[in-house]
Amino acid sequence: MRTSETKARDGRPAPEFNAAMIGFLSDFRNFHAEIKSKLQKQEERLTMLDRKSLIAGRPALAGAAESAGAPHQKAFETYLRSGDDDGLRGLEFEGKAMSTAVAADGGYLVDPETSAMIKGVLKSSASIRSIANVVNVEATSFDVLIDHGELGSGWATETASSIETDTPQIERITIPLHELSAMPKASQRLLDDSAFDIDSWLAERIADKFARAEAAAFVNGDGIDKPTGFLSHPVVGNDAWTWGALGYVASGADGAFGSADALIDLVYALGAVYRANASFVMNSKTAGTVRKLKDSDGRFLWSDGLAAGEPARLLGYPVLIAEDMPDIAPDSCAIAVGDFAAGYTVAERPDLRVLRDPFSAKPHVLFYATKRVGGDVSDFAAIKVLKFSSV
């Protein structure tokens, strides 16, 4: 009989069938054990992340469906903690300031949320940036063309021939972009702790460095590897003012106010077109002195803002407290007034680069951030300064 080929003589399955079943069951048990192990590890990992999130005061991790909404954030945090760029492969960032190019040992990385936080702090800092003209450029410099000449004209009669008149002069001001950098650091152990808010820490450290460096350069920078501050240009008496210098009004006494009228003279040294958008700039120490000044009727020249967030006003014009302005001293230009939106231009590239360096300062990790920025006076007629001298 043919059935004898697949069954033993006693009716039991053949040895080949038994061996096949044993192999199948063994493979199935191994597969089941592997799946169970992976599920258990995944559950333990989610539980650990959930606990750490609760410790950090953040909402508990709800699951993969919710966390999948911000893949760039997860990849950014993973990279900062471990330098692993696997989570960044295949991930695209929109916008020029949000592109990445991560090398094997770490590279340039810009997270869109971090960059936005840094820009927000810079705009809210007490710097000339807040009242100046700020432009984004994609080149190494920014050129400002200024027509500061006067077009000639004259009255003509019916029979007389017309005479040639002066033509306007155009001045080109080139503002080169310089590199601003900051390099905060943190220990690897601190970065490994997920309860630590990496984004806020990095933004705060870099923003503080950038804000202080920019504010100082926009006022006193010498233009060598940094922006040119408006006080770095020569100052001349306003009666003898020429293009390329800032006009000044004397306070009437060396290192002091001869009279509060000097502030009124300073305001009206500006042209009417500039006074409409003018602001005073001084540091806190100078503001403390100016706040005590009164007019001939005994009224204070200084008035506080009428609402929260509004700047104080001097003679009706807003006051910017810039701590990098010089103190009152003989021949110092401690107070400036002008339309800085017309008079000073800040040029910058919109992108920010952050380089992660885990090797140079072990066991710390360095975060090297760079930004390109420049600044210079763009209209010398728009800014006047008060020089604390007798003449």
Residue 382's domain comprises 230-346+378-387
In a domain, 155, yes or no: no
Number of structural domains the chain divides into: 2
Q: What are phi and psi of 143, to 5 degrees?
A: -100, 135
**182 and 287 fall within a common domain:** no
CATH code of the domain containing 121: 3.30.2400.10
In a domain, 338, yes or no: yes
**260 and 136 fall within a common domain:** no
Whole-number pLDDT of residue 73: 59
In a domain, 301, yes or no: yes
In a domain, 120, yes or no: yes
**248 and 318 fall within a common domain:** yes
Whole-number pLDDT of residue 367: 81
Q: 240-278 as b/e, with b when 16 or more CB fall inside 10 Å?
A: ebeeeebbbbbbbeeeebeebebbebbbebbeeebbebb
Whole-number pLDDT of residue 108: 46
**213 and 331 fall within a common domain:** no
In a domain, 57, yes or no: no
**144 and 282 fall within a common domain:** no
Whole-number pLDDT of residue 116: 58
| DSSP 8-class letter at 334 | E
- Please state whether 252 falls in left (phi above 0), alpha (psi between -120 and 50) or beta: left
**141 and 271 fall within a common domain:** no
In a domain, 32, yes or no: no
Whole-number pLDDT of residue 184: 78
**169 and 261 fall within a common domain:** no
Crossing angle for the helix pair 198-220 and 112-124, to the nearest 10 degrees:
40
Quote the CA–CA distance of 356 and 191 in Å, as a whole number.
Answer: 12
Quote the CA–CA distance of 273 and 98 in Å, as a whole number.
Answer: 40
In a domain, 257, yes or no: yes
What pTM value is reported for the model?
0.65
**200 and 252 fall within a common domain:** no
Whole-number pLDDT of residue 150: 62
In a domain, 7, yes or no: no
**201 and 308 fall within a common domain:** no
CATH code of the domain containing 300: 3.30.2320
Quote the CA–CA distance of 243 and 343 in Å, as a whole number.
Answer: 12
Q: Which pLDDT tens digits describe the chain residue by residue (391 residues)?
A: 444 444 555 556 667 777 777 877 788 788 778 888 887 877 777 776 665 555 555 444 444 444 445 555 565 566 555 555 554 444 444 434 333 444 444 444 454 555 655 566 665 457 899 999 999 998 888 988 877 666 556 676 767 676 776 666 777 889 999 998 888 777 777 777 656 666 567 767 787 888 888 889 999 999 999 999 999 999 999 999 998 999 999 999 999 999 899 999 999 999 999 999 999 999 999 999 999 998 888 889 999 877 777 888 999 999 999 999 999 999 999 999 999 999 999 999 877 777 888 888 888 888 888 889 999 999 999 999 999 998 8
Whole-number pLDDT of residue 35: 81
